Structure 1
Amino acid sequence: MDESFYKRIEAVLENLDNHAHCGGVYHDIEGKSFPKVGKAFCRLCAACVFHSKAGDFCRQAARAGAYQSQIKGDVHYFKCWLGLYGIVIPVSPDGEKIIGAIEIGGLLPKGELQKIQHNMISTLSAIDSGEKLQHFINAFQGIEEMPNVEMEKIGEFLKEAVLSSGLLSAEKFSERNALWKQQERLAVGMEALSSIREERRKRILMCAEDLSSLFQSGKEPDFLKKTDELLSLILLESSQDISKVKAYLAMVVTILSMNFLLKGEKWSKIMTVNNLYLEEIVKFEDIKEICFWFERLTLKLFRNIHIEKKNEDVSEKVISYLHKRFSENIRLVEVAKFAGASTSGVMHKLKKETGQTFSQHMNSIRVKEAKRLLAFTSLPLGEISQRCGFRDQSYFTKVFSKTVNIGPREFRKMLVNASQ
């Protein structure tokens, strides 16, 4: 490793010293270099790490924990050979190869100290004796208990410190965490649905139809829940045979595509995309990966549809707002907030979808109301301008004349003359 790598390691350890109130230690995954210990690292753990016998136990625990952490995409909590708790996270800049581990050790939850004290001293006595044993015992006496919630906060800080340093790929670590959580949910789902044996295939088809409906009108938590149910049923019905899982998912993807066609999507577009998805399915050889792919795919489609749907509603919301409140002093920023869009988004959507700008829409609605009042009331022009939301009569006359090609006074006279 180059000098910049070790500087980042030292920066993380210093960060832990200053902000987590618990120092850390860096272990080289292959044990080729000595551990790097932070200043605030547990004294007992530091003594163990550099001990000729105990050090091997510490390094093995850190390595095993780093691989566990890599698998589940989260810090790994473990109990060391002495009964103390540790938190570990891998060092893997590319997100694939683990080259080290950063550990915080010497943690004890509330109420644990008395439980482990006797066994810990016995274990240490078996490893060493004399002055070194006394050194271990003195270091142990400095350990303080802490609430579980405090340990969790330390774990979160460790994760953020390592990810922000670039010593671990944030993108791949997050992806592994999502995969791990999905597998936990599917395990629970399979357990809950295991009693359903008859008509399981029919239930899979029904779930696929339900999922298709949720694309248009569902909420994301309900969509994810239905996706989990569908995958759990497929895993049960296929007995986790990868070939059968691929066959069921190919069927589900095609059902979803057919429903998009029935809703008016272009045939060529949907069939081209559907075939690409089927080609993707064929490539998978791992059940966990194909389940994760399916969830990411459908969730992406769900979000894209709802973004498009939200954008389609913007113009409608803006025009509705103008019709209801044209008599007020309307500000674009307020209308944009009502429509759930930015001011630039409102202007772009209106122009693109209606061919008119925001100001043109607003003036058109106001002039339409002014024409009604001029035709059916005898209200003076000043009051009509106020009722229609114009800032003054002069501006009202200017906008009206530009829109109708005749002034409001002349417009009223024309109507009177036409009725005589």
Structure 2
Amino acid sequence: MKEKFLEKLKEALITYSFSTKIPLVLLDENGETVYSVGNEEPFCKFFKDFTGEMNPCSQTHLYAAKQSEKLGEAYTFFCPAGLIHYTVPVIKKGIFRGSVLAGPILMEFSDKLMISEIMQKFNIDLKYLGMVESKIRSIQVIDPTRVRYLGNLLFIVAFSLLDDEKKELENRKLIAAHQSDLNEKIQDIKDNDNVEFYSYETEKELLLKVRNGDIIGAKNILNDMIGRILFASGGNINIIKSKTLELCTLLSRASIDGGADSNTIIDLNSKFLYKISNIKNIEDLSYWVIHMLDSFTQNVFNFNESKNPVLIQKCISYINEHYNEDINLETVANIVHLNPSYFSSIFKKEVGVSFSNYLNKIRIEQSKLLLKNTDSSIVEIALEVGFEDQSYFSKVFKNLTKMTPKQYRQNG
């Protein structure tokens, strides 16, 4: 670590330690102590002296630091002696350079059982019982909720000096969260004994969500598709990449069909294809597919330039889920707690079409699928997608597609 950076980090750690009364240790990339602030807990000193060269603490600290780096946030853990620590990584230019270790602390007051377990686990002679009790009972007790916030605060303190690394850690945190979601999806697939890749129907549903600009709905479907790809491929990254490249092409076409600027999407597509081809692990690959989906779908309605992206995405997702019900402007305005008139103006400004036109567009897109893939009558399809009668359905359909529902079905 460079001297100037090290001095700034030391100053920040001193402020944190003296404010919280929690000892801190700055470790290098090998888990060796670079600097410490605050008094070392008497029990830790005793434990190190007792275990000598067999002391397991440094390896546990290093493992926890790497977990913190992987997760992109503070990592709380039990040390070999059963005491609580938390740690944050120190990263420079994307490379792990060390970590800051906080603790030990306790989340509840020690009792005889806890002390007995420590004595037995490490074969500590009973003659040291009184000494171990007194040293452990001197350790600060902090409730779990406060520990979590103290960990977050240490992360903020450490990375206040590392502006260039914040984005990288945020990406890692998102990757870890996405991987957790995928693991749940894969477990569901295992439980249902379904080891096949996603169906053509699922693919069509995803593309329709993208064309409609429904980021939330599209993401839910894509997560399930990625889970199936990962499970059915047996973890073969070449198969996963092949399926991912197919998805990239499909998503880019769907976003252009939805109204996104073709030059922007072609440029994005090229960048994603290059990025995906160079990714080496499955976790990063699955995260980048979701990132790719966000970029393509956001461009359908220029969400990147939106002043209310979260609100509009929530509305679009609601419409896409409830288009076949008796919903109207007032219904959706109430969902986002806005005056209908004000909501109407925001929606048209952000999406580029009025609420009623967008709702009709969604209903007609859904009706196209039914016309192509079912034998249902036009009356039945009209009712199924939310229109009250066939006449109005046919009128809207022709306005948007330049042909009647019957002509559309015959031309299929």
Same fold (TM over 0.5): yes
Match of 1:66 in 2: 65
Q: Distance in 2 between matches of 1:82 and 1:252?
A: 49
Tell me how far 1:168 sits from its aligned partner.
Answer: 8.8
- Tell me the distance in 1 between the aligned counterparts of 2:243 and 2:149: 42
Paired residues, number: 318
Q: 1:59: Cα distance to partner?
A: 2.3
Counterparts of 1:263 and 1:165, CA distance in 2: 43
Tell me which moved more, 210-219 or 178-187.
Answer: 210-219
- Is the deviation greater in 206-215 or in 293-302? 206-215
Match of residue 152, structure 1, among 136, 148, 154: 148
Distance apart, 1:182 and its partner CA: 1.3
Q: Measure, in 2, the Cα distance between the counterparts of 1:312 and 1:88.
A: 37
Which secondary structure does the structure 2 equivalent of 1:146 belong to? coil
Match of 1:118 in 2: 116
Partners of 2:75 and 2:86 within 8 A in 1: yes
Match of 2:160 in 1: 164
- CA separation of 1:240/1:3 partners in 2, compared to 1, >3 Å: closer, same or farther? closer
**Which amino acid in structure 2 is aligned with residue 255 of structure 1?**
L
Is 1:180 the counterpart of 2:179 in the alignment? Answer: no
Per the TM alignment, residue 282 of structure 1 is displaced from its structure 2 partner at its CA by 3.5
How big is each residue's C-alpha offset from its partner over 1:172-211, in whole Å with a ceiling of 9 and x where there is no partner? 22211111111111111011123556694452x3333223
Tell me by how many angstroms 1:274 deviates.
4.3
Counterparts of residues 222-233 of structure 1 (less than 5 Å) = 222-233=217-228
User: How many angstroms apart in 1 are the aligned matches of 2:67 and 2:46?
Assistant: 25
Q: CA deviation at 1:292?
A: 1.5
Distance 1:128 1:141 in 2: 17
Match of 2:334 in 1: none
Distance in 2 (alpha carbons) for counterparts of 1:279 and 1:154: 40
Matched AA of 1:297:
M
2:286 is the counterpart of 1:291: yes
Correspondence for 2:104? 106
Residues 194-205 of structure 1: pairs in structure 2 closer than 5 A: 194-195=190-191, 200-201=196-197, 203=199, 205=200
| Native 8 Å contact 2:256 2:265 kept in 1 | yes
Distance (Å, rounded) in 1 between the aligned partners of 2:92 and 2:262? 44
TM-score after normalising by structure 1: 0.63
| SS class of match (1:305) | coil
Aligned to 2:135: 139
Question: Mean alpha-carbon deviation: is it higher for 302-311 or for 73-82?
Answer: 302-311
Q: Is 1:304 aligned to 2:299, yes or no?
A: yes
**Counterpart contact for 1:209–1:256, Cα < 8 Å:** no
Contact 1:16–1:23 (8 Å) recurs in 2: no
Q: Write the letter of the residue equivalent to 2:91.
A: S
**Is residue 207–residue 229 contact of structure 1 (8 Å, CA) maintained in 2?**
no
Higher deviation after alignment, 159-168 or 227-236: 159-168
Deviation of 1:97 (Å): 2.8
C-alpha distance 179-55 of structure 1, shift in aligned 2 (>3 A): same
The AA in structure 2 aligned to 1:140 is I
Report the CA distance shift for 1:180/1:166 in structure 2 as closer, same or farther (over 3 A).
same
- Are 1:22 and 2:17 matched, yes or no? no
- 1:83 maps onto 2:56 in alignment: no
1:97 match: secondary structure = strand
Equivalent residue number for residue 357 of structure 1: none
1:195-232 CA-partner distances (Å, limit 9, x unpaired): 556694452x3333223222344554433322211211
User: Structure 1's 296 and 308: CA in aligned 2 closer, same or farther, altered over 3 A?
Assistant: closer
| Structure of larger gyration radius | 1
Partners of 1:308 and 1:168 lie apart in 2 by 26
Query: CA contact under 8 A between 1:22 and 1:42: conserved in structure 2?
Result: no
Structure 1 residue 123 displacement after superposition: 5.9
Instruction: Compute the displacement of 1:117 (Å).
Output: 1.4
Equivalent position SS for 1:86: strand
Q: Secondary structure at the match of 2:160?
A: helix
Q: Give 1:67 shift.
A: 1.4
Aligned partner of 2:94 in structure 1 is: 95
Shift of 1:47: 5.5
Inter-partner Cα distance in structure 1 for 2:219 and 2:281: 21
Give the C-alpha shift of residue 11 in structure 1: 1.9
Q: 1:302 to 1:23 in 2, by over 3 A?
A: farther
Deviations 1:317-365 (A, max 9, x none): xxxxxxxxxxxxxxxxxx9999559xxx99xx9xxxxxxxxxxxxxxxx
Equivalent position SS for 1:165: coil
Query: Could you tell me whether the CA contact under 8 Å between 2:106 and 2:142 is conserved in 1?
Result: yes
Quote the Cα distance in structure 2 between the aligned partners of 1:279 and 1:166.
28
Superposition pairs for residues 6-405 of structure 1, below 5 Å? 6-30=6-30, 34=33, 36-39=35-38, 42-45=41-44, 48=47, 53=52, 56-98=55-97, 100-110=98-108, 113-121=111-119, 126=124, 137-166=133-162, 169-195=165-191, 200-201=196-197, 203=199, 205-217=200-212, 219-263=214-258, 274=269, 277-307=272-302
Aligned residue identity for 1:159: F
CA contact (8 A) 2:265 2:296 kept: no
Aligned residue identity for 1:14: I
Report the 3-state secondary structure (helix = DSSP H, G, I; strand = E; otherwise coil) of the residue aligned with 1:74: coil
Task: Calculate percent identity across the aligned residue pairs.
Answer: 16
**TM-superposed deviation, 1:303:** 2.8
Q: Would the aligned equivalents of 1:90 and 1:168 in 2 still touch at CA under 8 Å?
A: no
Matched position secondary structure for 2:172? helix
> For structure 1, which segment, 143-152 or 48-57, has the greater mean C-alpha deviation from structure 2 after superposition?
48-57
CA positional deviation for 1:137: 4.7
The alignment partner of 2:85 has SS state of strand
Deviation at residue 308 of structure 1 after TM alignment:
5.0
Cα-Cα RMSD: 4.0
Deviations 1:257-290 (A, max 9, x none): 3334544667777567545544544334422222
CA contact (8 A) 1:90 1:101 kept: yes
Q: In 2 relative to 1, CA 88–184 (structure 1 residues): closer, same or farther, beyond 3 Å?
A: same
Which residue identity does 1:15 align to in structure 2? T
SS, match of residue 126 in structure 1: coil
User: Offset of 1:163 from its aligned partner?
Assistant: 1.3
* Equivalent residues of 2:198, 2:225 under 8 A apart: no
Cα offset, 1:156, TM superposition: 1.1
Cα–Cα, structure 1 residues 198 and 113, in superposed 2: closer, same or farther, change >3 Å?
A: closer
